[in-house]
Structure 1
């Protein structure tokens, strides 16, 4: 209910400002006149800084910076997943209010993340009819992935589905999407516990993992495949954690981002590794904790994850938080660097 009210406030603000033209009307949504629009982001480094000592107690894993992102545009926020470009200069994110954001990152000479360029793009996701998503119920984008071949995939929960976006522009989710055929049991997932993790594996198949219901004893739904060829599995949950994103690691390993929240003051975030999973019907994916984000780092509602592995074997890990359009939460982008030998040494 709270996010539905926020969605209505955002669309009302858009209508007043005419930022997205007639698309903000809820009774007859149409394709935006301008999509995306140009916006201005502000960013600042948050502690710990590069000069601070940070010991993660994980061999081969280094903290490489965190930045706070802010914007006065009412639609900014609620970022639920992200992708990083191969050159690690650009990011693309989706929000659970049906928007998408593209920006460029700034590093110092030591490859430490220090900011975001002010110039950014903010767009609205359209449905397969070319209209804006006119309610929070239909706009809840929770996962973002590269598509096999080209383009991007966005997974929605509540109305469980996966839309395919293909634009001639770089890191762009404008245009009218098409629908891909989901696994058979996707539609049976909990209303607010659908696909939160979606990633393209190096072999060309997609891996999806649902957040799952509130009974932490139950596994989360998972599937791997493409089109009509899906293998359905389960993802093992532990210690009140639920998966919120996934990304590939070298040597057929998979990194997952997990969140635990059972009440005020209980938020915990961790990164886990599924080591060389065997994908077969009914299999259980068993993640093992790589690191629980310590309180010495900025801990927030991290939901989005992506990885980039360079030719020399280093893997850069990015996570982004969903501020829930709340004054007490923030949009934070944080980066880690993992050595090639880390997986073998840690598991």
Structure 2
């Protein structure tokens, strides 16, 4: 499926219903189906998501509502996805209902026939009733007022530092994380590029205050993320204690796709810092993964921290939209 064709020729005006099915699975490593421990994470549940709607796919950022019972995602072809997740009493996925999509606008480009260049949404964070979406190719962060009734949300483009626009094509802002209350950088957005100018250089990041007054965005610092072993940043979230959890991905023809999760101490996130942290776990072809790009947290009914991952299938018949959930004890 050509996602550029979808973005340019088939963008509806408002929200529309679609049918999305889920094929649940209970094992993350099929050769060891009883295994649940993966580093500090406990695998909980997962599913393959499928739809015949040509606009479905390319999911690259997400947030939860209703303690993991409702998912709001963005795609890199410029769509919102709102979906309800059915669960049993143990929290295992049983199905998906009430799925809707709607076009997303970055604030740049035409509305009806929008080239993918303008709507390549790669990350999504929520701050109360405000949503922030990052658009990689144009290096834009837009703020939206949450409207689940219509899914029609007008963008407010945030002014960004000049250094953001200097990041290379298609390697722009890939990850956004919102620092929660009670942390030194509370209310700040951490914006991280996909990679540095070269494999030898660390990945640039910015500390932004999105409510700096009169709608202005204030840069309060910059940092860099040390990269290794060919992995690129795809998403980031802030854990309960303020630590930064990074989702990273690698793909080579020889070894296929791999992902890993790294944890960076909250105290290390300061202006001018070079951030690095231990790899908590790594997964590859032996596991049920694909091009994992989205990551979000929620607290389940038992008060546990759940880390969810979602794959961008690139609208390819050779890839799958994989959804995974892990419990992070003491997260």
Compute the TM-score of the two structures, normalised by the length of structure 1: 0.83
Task: Return 5+ residue gaps in structure 2 as ranges.
Answer: 181-185, 210-216
SS of alignment partner, residue 162 of structure 2: coil
2:4 is matched with: 7
**How do residues 209-224 of structure 1 correspond to structure 2 at under 5 angstroms?**
209-213=192-196, 215-224=198-207
Shift of residue 235 of structure 1?
0.9
**How do residues 270-285 of structure 1 correspond to structure 2 at under 5 angstroms?**
270-285=260-275
**How do residues 160-179 of structure 1 correspond to structure 2 at under 5 angstroms?**
160-169=139-148, 173-179=151-157
Number of equivalent positions:
316
Shift of residue 309 of structure 1?
3.8
2:52 is matched with: 72
SS of alignment partner, residue 306 of structure 2: strand
Cα 1:150/1:297, change in 2 over 3 Å: same
Cα 1:55/1:193, change in 2 over 3 Å: same
Deviations 1:225-263 (A, max 9, x none): 211233111011111111100111121111110001132
Deviations 1:298-322 (A, max 9, x none): 0210000001246976210000000
For residues 48 and 150 of structure 1, what CA distance do their matches in structure 2 show? Answer: 35
For residues 339 and 77 of structure 1, what CA distance do their matches in structure 2 show? Answer: 31
Shift of residue 55 of structure 1?
4.0
Are 1:54 and 2:32 matched, yes or no? Answer: no
Shift of residue 206 of structure 1?
0.8
Root-mean-square deviation over aligned CA pairs:
2.5
Q: Which of the pair is proportionally richer in strand?
A: 2
Cα 1:144/1:269, change in 2 over 3 Å: same
For residues 128 and 97 of structure 1, what CA distance do their matches in structure 2 show? Answer: 15
SS of alignment partner, residue 109 of structure 1: coil
Are 1:113 and 2:103 matched, yes or no? Answer: no
Task: Return 5+ residue gaps in structure 1 as ranges.
Answer: 21-31, 343-347
**How do residues 78-227 of structure 1 correspond to structure 2 at under 5 angstroms?**
78-117=58-97, 119-128=98-107, 131-132=111-112, 134-147=114-127, 150-169=129-148, 173-202=151-180, 203-213=186-196, 215-226=198-209, 227=217
1:28 is matched with: none
Deviations 1:33-76 (A, max 9, x none): xx1111111111135289940143424x2111110111111111
For residues 188 and 83 of structure 1, what CA distance do their matches in structure 2 show? Answer: 28
The partner residue of 2:318 within 328, 336, 340 is: 328
1:41 is matched with: 20
For residues 305 and 138 of structure 1, what CA distance do their matches in structure 2 show? Answer: 22
**How do residues 304-319 of structure 1 correspond to structure 2 at under 5 angstroms?**
304-309=294-299, 314-319=304-309
Contact 1:165 1:173 in 2 (8 A): no
For residues 287 and 313 of structure 1, what CA distance do their matches in structure 2 show? Answer: 26
For residues 132 and 235 of structure 1, what CA distance do their matches in structure 2 show? Answer: 37
For residues 126 and 57 of structure 1, what CA distance do their matches in structure 2 show? Answer: 38
**How do residues 248-287 of structure 1 correspond to structure 2 at under 5 angstroms?**
248-263=238-253, 265-287=255-277
SS of alignment partner, residue 118 of structure 2: helix
For residues 317 and 133 of structure 1, what CA distance do their matches in structure 2 show? Answer: 35
Contact 1:195 1:210 in 2 (8 A): yes
SS of alignment partner, residue 266 of structure 2: coil
